Every structure is written in C-alpha cells, then in structure tokens.
Structure 1
Amino acid sequence: MPNALIIGASRGLGHEFVRQLAGQGWKVFATARNDAALEELRGVGAHACKLDVARPESLAGLGWQLDGESFDLAIYVAGVFGPREGAKSAPTRQDFDLVMHTNVLGAMQALLLVAPMVEAAKGKLVFISSDMASIADASSSYGWIYRSSKAALNMAVRSAASDYPGATFAVLSPGWVRTDMGGENAPLEASESVAGMLDVIAGLKPEESGAYRNYAGKTMPW
C-alpha cells in the first residue's frame, strides 16, 4: 500500500486529496490545526496529525508523529490568500507576515522535515502553487502579497530540488477552484482539479524534478 502525506487537509483541495487518495487505496496521513477537522479526516480514513504550519514547534511535533515513516507522495497544500488589494494599497506588516509565513516559511520548514521521508521511498514532493505565481504571465497586481508568496514558494522548491536527488519535486497550480479561497464563481470543482493534479503527479519523471505545471499538465511559465 503506497503512503501519502497531505499537509493542510482540513478543507478544500487538501481534504479532496485525502478523499481521492484514500479511495484509491493509499494509506494517507493528513494534517489539520483543530480537533474537529482532525476527527473529520479520521472519518474518511486518514491518519490525522495535528499541525499548525505557522508554528515551528508544531512542525517539530509532526516529526515525532511521523517518525519512521516514508512517503511515496507528500503534498503541501496549506496556504492563505490574504488581502485582495493590489499595488495601490500598501500591505500591513501583519498581513504580509501571515501570508509569507504560511505560504513560504512554513513550506520551507516542512520541506526540510519531509523531503528525507520522500527520498527514502524515492517518491514525489509537491507544493500547491498558483497561476498567480507566474511572473511572466502577471497582468495584474490583484492579491499582490499572495502573488509574491507563491512566486517565492516556486523559487524555494525549484532551488531545493537539486539538494534531494532521491525525490521528484514539483509545484502545481490547481487552477481557479470553487473553494473558500477561490470563491463560488470559480469554474473548477475541487474534485476535478485534484483528479487532474494526481494525474500530472503520476506522470512526473525524476528528470523533471522542480517542474511548474498546472492541473491539466501544462508547463507554466516562471
């Protein structure tokens, strides 16, 4: 039975990854911040682990919970959008710190913890990015803290890939998805986006480590 770890699985895309992988016969470890979400994850067959990616001590605790495990697939889904304003509105330090800490620092700290566990299985380590992370395609400053955080995440993952040759790294854009973050006007259901990303992940080859793709397999411009 293959092993998967989903970081940030309390709702939306993370929860859908758990549902689909468990349905395909994977043993799934999944993280959430609160007890109600943890109980719900257990209800869909996951091994639930408490984690707040914004707290380094919580990540250290995850290491104890996962001691001795190896993962064929690990996915960092945790993220926040923050203010929707663009470059005509100055970000507050509080907003900037929250978005950057969750989307970038939390991911970088999790990478150091999880990458050896993925290498042990010669598996795949994936981080959920965004179309809005593409510098080449930027046509608006809408959500500019979020844009900047996901571009920084892309760099962190791409640059780290060479340090862990036993794992295949990738950043994936899920598209515009109908979740709490994406809103009700988004064209994609979470189930469609996640199914597409799992297909892309399944097709990733080791020589493609560090790739930036979308849920349909398109290579995204950096």
Structure 2
Amino acid sequence: MPTALVIGASRGIGREFVRQLLRDGWKVWATARDDASLAELQSAGAQALKLDVAQTDSIATLGWQLDGEKLDLALFVAGVYGPGHGAETAPTSAAFDQVMHANVLGAMQLIPTVAPMVEAARGKCVFISSIMGSIGSATASIGWVYRVSKAALDMVVKSASFDYRHATFVALHPGWVQTGIGGPNAPVPVEQSVEDMLDVIGKLQPGDSGSFYSHDGTRLPW
C-alpha cells in the first residue's frame, strides 16, 4: 500500500486529495490545525496529525509523529491568499508576514524533515503553487503578495530538487479552482483539479524534478 502525506488537508484541495487517495487505496497521513478538522479526517480513514505550517513549534513535532515512515508522496497544499490588491497599494507588514510564513517559510521548514522520508521511498514531493507566481506568465499585479509568495515557493522547489536527488520535486498549478481562495465562480471544480493533478503526479519521472506543471500536464514557465 503506497503512503501519502497531505499537508493542509482541512478543506478544499487538500481535503479532496485525501478523499481521492483513500478511495484509490493509499494510506494517508493528513494534517490540519483544528480539532474538528482532525476528527473529520480521522473519520474519513486518514491518519490525522495536528500541524500549523505558520508555527515553528508545530512543525518541529511532525518528525517524531512520522518517525520511521517512508512516503511515496508528500503534498504541500497549505497556504493563504492574503490581500487582493495589486502594486498600487502597499501591503502591511502583518499581511506580508502571514502570507510568506504560510506559503513559503512553512515549506522551507518542513522540507528537511519530510524530504528524507520521501527519498527513502524514491517518492515525489509536490507543492501546490499557482500560475500567478509565474514571472514568465504574469500579465497583472492583482494579488501581488500572493504572487510573490508563490514565485518564492517555486524557487524553494527548484532549489531543494538539487539536494534531494532521490525524490522528485515538482510545483503544480491546480487551475482556477472552486475553493475558498478561488471562489464559487472559478471554472474548475475541486474534484476535477485533484483528479487531473493525481494523473500528472502519477506520470512524473525522476528527470522531471525541479519542474513546474499545470494540472492539465502543461509545463509552465518559471
């Protein structure tokens, strides 16, 4: 039975990853911040772990909770959008720190703990990024704090791919998805996005490490 870790599984894309992986026969470790979400994940059949990626002390406990595990797949889904304004409005320090801690620092602090478990299984580390973080594809500044955080996350993925040669590191754009961030008018249902991404993940090869893909399999520019 393959084993997956879904970081940020309380709702939206993360919760759907848990549902589909369990359906497909995976053993799933899933993290959430609050007790109600943890209970729901446990009830669904996942092994639930309490984790707040914005809190260093919380991150420090993950290693011993997963001690001895080999992970075929680690999914870094947790993240926040932050303020929606563009470059005509300066972000507050608090808003910038919140987004960067959740979207970038959390991943950077988790990688040294999680990546060796993925390497042990010759598995895959997949980070949910966004085309909004693609410098080569940028056409506007709206949500620029979020854009900056995802561009930084992409560099985290690319950089880490050089140090963990026995794991496949990839950033994935899920599409504009019907979630709390994407909103109800987004064109892609969360079920379809996750199904598409699992298909892309299943086809990844070691030579793809350090790459950026869309949910439809298109390779994206950094």
TM bin (shorter chain): over 0.9
- Residue 19 of structure 1 is matched in structure 2 by 19
Q: What is the one-letter code of the residue matched to 1:183?
A: G
- Residue 170 of structure 2 is matched in structure 1 by 170
- Residue 157 of structure 1 is matched in structure 2 by 157
CA drift of 1:44 comes to 1.2
For 1:1-222, list aligned pairs within 5 A.
1-222=1-222
CA drift of 1:195 comes to 0.4
Aligned partners of 1:184 and 1:175: how far apart in 2? 14
C-alpha distance after superposition, 1:197-217 (max 9, x if no partner): 000001010011011001000
Q: 4+ residue stretches of structure 1 with deviation over 2 A?
A: none
Aligned partners of 1:60 and 1:96: how far apart in 2? 23
Count of matched residue positions in the alignment of Structure 1 and Structure 2: 222
Aligned partners of 2:111 and 2:153: how far apart in 1? 11
Normalised TM-score (structure 2): 0.99
Aligned partners of 1:113 and 1:94: how far apart in 2? 27
Normalised TM-score (structure 1): 0.99
Residue aligned with 2:85, SS: coil
Aligned partners of 2:97 and 2:150: how far apart in 1? 14
Q: What is the one-letter code of the residue matched to 2:77?
A: V
CA drift of 1:162 comes to 1.1
Q: Using the aligned pairs only, state the percent identity.
A: 62
Gaps of 5+ in 1: none
C-alpha distance after superposition, 1:100-155 (max 9, x if no partner): 00000001111111000000000000000001011011111000000000000001
Gaps of 5+ in 2: none
Aligned partners of 1:25 and 1:220: how far apart in 2? 30
